[in-house]
A = this chain, B = another copy of it.
Amino acid sequence: MSNVSIGDIPTVEHPGWGRSVGLVQAQSVTFEQPFITDSGAIIHAPWTLAYETYGQLNAEHSNAILICHALSGDAHAAGKHQLADTKYGWCEPFIGPGRAFDTERYFVICSNILGGCSGSTGPASLHPHTGTAWGSRFPVLTINDLVRAQALLLDRLGIKQLLAVAGGSLGGMQALQWARTYGERVRGVIALATTARSSALTIALNATGRQAITNDPHWHGGDYYTGTPPAAGLATARRIGHISYLSEAALAAKFDRQWQEYPGPRWSHSAEFAVESYLEYQGRAFVQRFDANTYLIITRAMDYFDLSAEAGGLQAAFAHTQAQFFVASWSSDWLYPPSEAVQIVAAAEAAGRPTVYYAFESDRGHDSFLLNDDQLTPPLTEWLEELTLNATSL
């Protein structure tokens, strides 16, 4: 792999663990065969997956780790594309020399999901037959569709078996689906702040966000790419999501009842409190970089996700893998509470899979899995080292 880290930027944000991978390049792969979705729809060729890699694939091809991103993520997991970038990739604290996903040991891959809006083929991409955006023609996907597309990427990269597949939230669903669909291709599953079976609560929240988008008059049934996008609806959906990623304690610690500007009521319906202003800013930033149809399609894939129904019991879902499981939950995560992690752990253990479970304490809500590298790094580092000791390439 030629396009690995080519720089060495000190990561002042995360002084605790290792170094940044530095400068990285966006990559992509294009497939010349159509992709048939679980729903029976066809994503016509050519279609593309965007990805990035960090570290070097070893001679035995036995040190590859696939990182699966969450709903708002993309392929840019670590480092910077340019020195002037103000932000690192979304998984920065965990990827780099001396970090949990140590790029001096492992070859780390992250791809933007199929249906995404950050370089992979999705609703905003041009339909190869018509030259116009897919829009409403882009099919609803399943988590299994996302994983099958990733497997095709690994085929291209010459990786028959992953040392590990890792992800939090939607990314964790993909990691678990890997164990179900390609059990023989993965030696370790790292499932963080996630579930094997989407709950009524997460469906309710997703559906409310979708309703905000589809009620936006600019949505136009999904075919808005030649006009104004449904930005207001998407911003509302993002705000609902954003609140669900936080905890009451996290919001109280960060904002409490601070006013944004004028220190008292202005008797308006506009943002007056700092927390309102923050959510408004985050919503505006999100709609600049995210596509509303991707939001619809991927939240629906999350709703449909139920490994136990798919396999006839969650234990059965893990019956055809030799993978070891690393599962973690955070106490204040009310979206994917510890009780749902416990179900994953119980099923993996019942299926005879070596499993470790960390029920972390945190008051930062669902986002803890990205924020609390201090909690996650030591056990994850150790677990990956042991996994490596046992690993042999196929």
Contacts and interface: CB of A to CB of B under 8 A. Distances in A.
Contacts of A235: 211, 215
Contact of A207 (B198, B208, B279): B279
Interface of A: 39, 41, 139-140, 197-201, 203-205, 207-208, 210-212, 214-217, 232-233, 235-236, 239-240, 243, 246, 248, 251-252, 254-257, 265, 267-269, 271-273, 275-276, 279-280, 283, 296, 300, 303-304, 306, 309, 334, 337
A208 B248 contact: no
A27 to B, nearest CB: 31
Contact of A208 (B214, B240, B255): B240
B208 A243 contact: yes
Given A217-B217, A243-B208, A257 B203 contact: yes
A243 B204 contact: yes
A319 to B, nearest CB: 22
Contacts of A232: 211, 215
Sorted from nearest, which 9 A-B pairs have the closest CB atoms?
A200-B251, A215-B232, A140-B267, A207-B276, A200-B255, A208-B239, A201-B248, A200-B275, A39-B267
Contacts of A207: 239, 271, 273, 275-276, 279
Given A197-B257, A300-B269, A204 B140 contact: no
Contacts of A212: 212, 236
